[in-house]
Structure 1
Amino acid sequence: MARPRTHDLDQLLDVAERLVADNGPERFTVRALAAASGVSNGAIYHAFGSLPVLLGRLWLRAAGDFLDLQVELADGVHGDGHEAAIEAVLAVAGAPAVFADRRPAAARMLIAVRRDQLLGPQVPEELAEAMFALDKRLLELLKRLARALWGRADGAGVEVVTLCVVDLPTAVFSRALTAPTLDGRPAIETDSRERLNAAVRGVLTLPPPPQKKRAVPSSTS
């Protein structure tokens, strides 16, 4: 049995993305994907090897594309200084709404489904390493934003940026991204986007707590 081409795999993952977003990972099966896509069970297993690998690749594709968008939005803010840094954080914070416009099923899946729901012990080392690399890329973006804001990228600074670009957007947009829709496209109102911006600006009015000084071991004579 021939392995599906890359283009066909992308189309197959598009269908899988929609099924997981609509029904959750617990109800997602290879049989359901075959029925929805018109691709045989055998061809799906031949392409991915197992259901955990399929789900892992599905999550990685969506999460990687979302992180690419976050970096793109941060790069799109030009200028130096504190206000430009705030604009970059605002742009990254608004990424879920932009992603929902571009990739509605992927946006719904990422905000409604935890990564550990899709990934299990059967995920091969190759996928685990790719996920670790994605986490490192996200951390670098958080550190970059923290440095631009305060000239520091310690844990406290990264925590404040994480609040702005992860926690607050999740809280503000989750209802729209998880609500049932007729066409699968979530409606994120302008009011929600503006309130998120106001909340992020409010958080950024306070700098992170002072950096903790490392304890110097006492010398003994």
Structure 2
Amino acid sequence: MPRPRVHDLDGVLDAAERLAVEGGPSAVTLRAVAGATAMSNGAIYHAFGSRGGLVGRAWLRAAHRFLGLQQESVDRALGRRPVEDRTAAADAVVAAADSPATFAERFPQSSRLLLTVRRDELLGADVPEEIADELSRLDSVLVELFTRLALALWGRTDGRAVEVIEACIVGLPTGLLLHSRRDPDVAMRRRLEAAVRAVLTLDPPPPGKRHNSNTKGP
């Protein structure tokens, strides 16, 4: 059996995304994907090996699209400016935080997959080992980004500094953009930028010290 062309496989991954978003994880079966594309069950099985291989590749494609777009936005903001340029570093954090909105514009179906379907629910237990390994590496890519931005802003890579960056580019976008039932608009994105910049005006707490919530202010 001839190996399917790359653009055929993209169509299969598109169909898997659409089925997962519209019908939930259980809607993604080899038969359903075959019915939504021009490929047979056998051709899909030959290309992906199993349902786990298919949905794993669909999830990875969406995740790599997002992480690639986010990394590009950070690189553009930092450019060739000096490492100690905190303005550029703050712009890079804002760009990273805004990436979910940009991703939703550019890849709406992939965005909905990542935001509405939990990875463990979609993938199940039959994910091939090589895909499982690649999925596990995604978290380390994000941590590397958090660390890079903390270093650019404060010259620090300790846990407290990295936590602030994570709050800015994961926590705030999740709360202000992703929990909304509508696509991010200009006003929502401006509120997000304002929130991120406000957080970044405060240096992270010293490493190893935790804030005492019972301490009274002046």
Q: Same-fold call, TM > 0.5?
A: yes
Matched, 1:151 2:155: yes
Structure 1: tracts of 5 or more residues without a match: 180-185, 214-221
Q: Which residue of 1 aligns with 2:105?
A: 101
1:207 to 203, 207, 210: 203
Q: Counterpart in 2 of 1:72?
A: 72
Q: Which residue in the other structure is 1:38 paired with?
A: 38
Equivalent residues of 1:21, 1:108 under 8 A apart:
yes
Quote the residue 2:191 is aligned against.
195
TM value normalised by structure 1 = 0.86
**CA distances 1:72-115 after superposition (whole Å, capped 9, x unpaired):** 00001133411111100000000011111110000111111222
Q: How much has 1:175 moved relative to structure 2?
A: 4.0
Residue in 1 that maps onto 2:91: 87
1:139 maps to which residue?
A: 143
TM score, norm. by length of structure 2: 0.87
Matches within 5 A, 1:172-187: 172-176=176-180, 179=181, 187=183
Give 1:217's aligned residue: none
Task: Give the Cα separation in 2 of the matches to 1:147 and 1:68.
Answer: 20
Structure 2 residue aligned with 1:8: 8
Deviations 1:2-29 (A, max 9, x none): 3312221112112211222222213222
Amino acid at match of 2:24: G
Task: Kindly tell me the number of residue pairs found equivalent between the two proteins.
Answer: 205
Give the conservation status (yes or no) of the 8 Å contact 2:51–2:126: no
Aligned-pair identity (%): 54
Q: Does 1:161 align with 2:165?
A: yes
RMSD: 1.7
1:55 Cα deviation after fit: 0.9
- Provide the residue aligned with 2:51 in structure 1: 51
Whether the 8 Å contact between 1:156 and 1:209 is mirrored in structure 2 is yes
1:125 maps onto 2:129 in alignment: yes
